[in-house]
Chain A
Amino acid sequence: MQREMTSELIKEILGKYPGTKDNLIKALHELQETNPLNYISPEIMEKCAAHFRLTKAQVYGVVTYYSMFSIKPRGKYHISLCKSPVCSMMGSENIFRYLEDKYGLLPDHVSDDGLFSLEKSECLGRCGKAPSMMINKDVYTGLTTDKIDEILLNLKSKPGK
């Protein structure tokens, strides 16, 4: 399993941003991306509040407003599978079912090995090749159940911490 990011690393990242609040969302993006657990932890929010001279509630308000930020730890590979009208018409519901039946992946849950989490996402702008999904920063289109097997197997066998 992955570990929480260190206080030093949080401070180091925040140090790159001037302390005006228009930099908050930029900093949150970088913090979440750097966090091995792929989310905005209470400690990150606390340190952001101090750095940007905001209340903890204001930071929490921003973090929970934007769907790209998560206040719960996520998998090493976070899957955003599109459920919007086009992808849903082109079969993304079958893919959701398949991910649950074969891999036990449910929206907003992390797999036991900490590798995968799943999110029902809105339109990802890949409608010409629907259904589509993103895993972290990578885009996958024209999904079929075979393709899902191939992609997940590939990620599972990837070395690294």
Chain B
Amino acid sequence: MILNDPKIALARAGKINPASIEEFINTGGFESVKKALKMNRGDLLDYAEKSGLKGRGGAGFPTGMKQRFTSSSCQTCENRYVVCNADEGEPGTYKDRFIMESDPFLLIEGMILAAYSINANYAYVYLRGEYYQSIDNIKNAIKLSYENGFLGQNILNSGYNLDMDIYLGGGSYLCGEELTLLESLEGKRGYPRIKPPFPAEKGLWEFPTLVNNVETFSHLPFIVNNGFETYSQTGTAESKGTKIFCVSGNVQKPGIYEFPFGITLRELIFDIAGGMKSDFSFKGALLGGAAGTFVNETLLDTPLAYETLKKEGATLGSGAVIVIDDKTDLKKMLSSILSFFKHESCGKCVPCRIGTTILYDKISSTDFTADDLKFMLAEAEYMAKNSLCPLGQSPVLPVKSFLKWFVL
């Protein structure tokens, strides 16, 4: 089945009042919860696994597998948690904000499904502190969900209990990394933990914890309502379902677009986003934000999916598509990315703390030449091998792809 209106996370966006639980319920909201609470947990875990859903936060880890690990680890533990990573901060990415602003109950619904499937009784939304509208919407959605019996004790008379709360981030990119996020949730500085153990074994307060991105949770209701077969029919061989792309730059219609995986960059930029603004011509794009990869026109017809981009040494990451034009100062753009990593490095481990500074200093130096990029690549590769968390492992992505596709 090809979906006529290929939208899952944004199906209601702009069509309902996000503050109204009635409008949400009247458009099929919480149906999946009613269905799921009558299913056994094993079947529900199968649903997520067989759907082929992968994490939409950037890493693309199979969601079903993560749910199964979390549900089966530490059988003697008295608590289990579900945490929504809503600490969106990847440059060029604003899809989670859009979901929370336009359909906040959908996120709650997805989180209830995940929590029930792993038998967790507590859930947190860790939300970026600057997203004031999202904060208001999610607070309101949680409150109304309690009042209408979708959260709290004995949900819909099923005997299942789930409490949910919101927690605000403090403006740290690194807290979008799952273990760092948990440290922050515990009230500490956002320093990454050593893994393993992964959150599925020891997460929040040492208990098994499932951490997923906002967009990921938003897909679960569709899967439960329509079946994993329907879901897995959209997308490509290894990337199932739809993805939200955040298009920015000098295109006619920058914005948020949800499409099945497999759409090409050409379709996205030239058909959907209306092509380049007059006086600008396409030069390339930065896919996935700062922790992403540059591409040029050679990849315009490559389907956008995890596996197809990987083959080309590129990544989809969070879904940011930053379009670069002929007037963009490429060096300045790379410099801006490296300044970002330097600023966000927490300083806990040496390769990242010193490496991010070396990279930025190099590109900012007055006698910088294109040859220096090779030195920077070697440094970034060293960091990728020796850093503790994804922050230090990421600069290699933009640096390497920059060298591959652009000549200064």
Q: What's the least CB distance linking B398 to chain A, in Å?
A: 9
Roughly how many angstroms separate A68 CA and B132 CA in the complex, as a whole number?
Answer: 13
**With a CB–CB cut-off of 8 A, which chain B residues contact A126?**
94
**A125:B286 contact, CB within 8 angstroms:** no
Roughly how many angstroms separate A23 CA and B320 CA in the complex, as a whole number?
Answer: 33
Roughly how many angstroms separate A21 CA and B185 CA in the complex, as a whole number?
Answer: 10
* Of B108-116, B154-162, B186-194, the one with at least 4 CB within 8 A of chain A: B186-194
Q: What's the least CB distance linking B91 to chain A, in Å?
A: 4
**A123:B93 contact, CB within 8 angstroms:** yes
Residues of A1-55 at the interface with B, using a CB-CB cut-off of 8 Å, are 20-26, 28-29, 52
**With a CB–CB cut-off of 8 A, which chain A residues contact B190?**
65-66
With contacts A125-B97, A125-B131 taken as known, whether A22 is within 8 angstroms of B186 at the C-beta atoms is yes
Interface presence of B227 (CB below 8 A):
no
Interface presence of A89 (CB below 8 A):
yes
Interface presence of A161 (CB below 8 A):
no
**B130:A134 contact, CB within 8 angstroms:** yes
**B248:A130 contact, CB within 8 angstroms:** yes
Number of cross-chain contacts by CB at 8 Å: 124
With contacts A68-B170, A86-B92 taken as known, whether A21 is within 8 angstroms of B186 at the C-beta atoms is yes
Write the chain B residue with the least CB distance to A54: B187
Among B88, B93, B189, the most chain A Cβ lie within 10 Å of the Cβ of B189
**A22:B187 contact, CB within 8 angstroms:** yes
**With a CB–CB cut-off of 8 A, which chain B residues contact A26?**
167-168
Roughly how many angstroms separate A80 CA and B131 CA in the complex, as a whole number?
Answer: 13
Roughly how many angstroms separate A97 CA and B185 CA in the complex, as a whole number?
Answer: 38
Residues of B323-338 at the interface with A, using a CB-CB cut-off of 8 Å, are 324, 328-329, 332-333, 336-337
Interface presence of A159 (CB below 8 A):
no
**B187:A127 contact, CB within 8 angstroms:** no
Interface presence of B199 (CB below 8 A):
no
Residues of B2-49 at the interface with A, using a CB-CB cut-off of 8 Å, are none
Roughly how many angstroms separate A137 CA and B134 CA in the complex, as a whole number?
Answer: 12
Interface presence of A69 (CB below 8 A):
yes
**A86:B249 contact, CB within 8 angstroms:** yes
With contacts A29-B168, A61-B189, A127-B248 taken as known, whether A84 is within 8 angstroms of B131 at the C-beta atoms is no
Roughly how many angstroms separate A69 CA and B130 CA in the complex, as a whole number?
Answer: 11
**B189:A62 contact, CB within 8 angstroms:** yes
Interface presence of B268 (CB below 8 A):
no
**B129:A68 contact, CB within 8 angstroms:** yes
Sample of 13 more A-B contacts, CB < 8 Å, known A66-B190, A86-B92: A22-B185, A52-B187, A85-B91, A85-B92, A85-B333, A85-B337, A86-B91, A89-B336, A125-B89, A125-B94, A126-B94, A127-B248, A128-B254
10 A-B residue pairs with Cβ-Cβ distance under 8 Å, sorted by A, are A66-B129, A66-B190, A85-B340, A86-B249, A88-B332, A89-B333, A89-B336, A90-B250, A127-B93, A128-B255
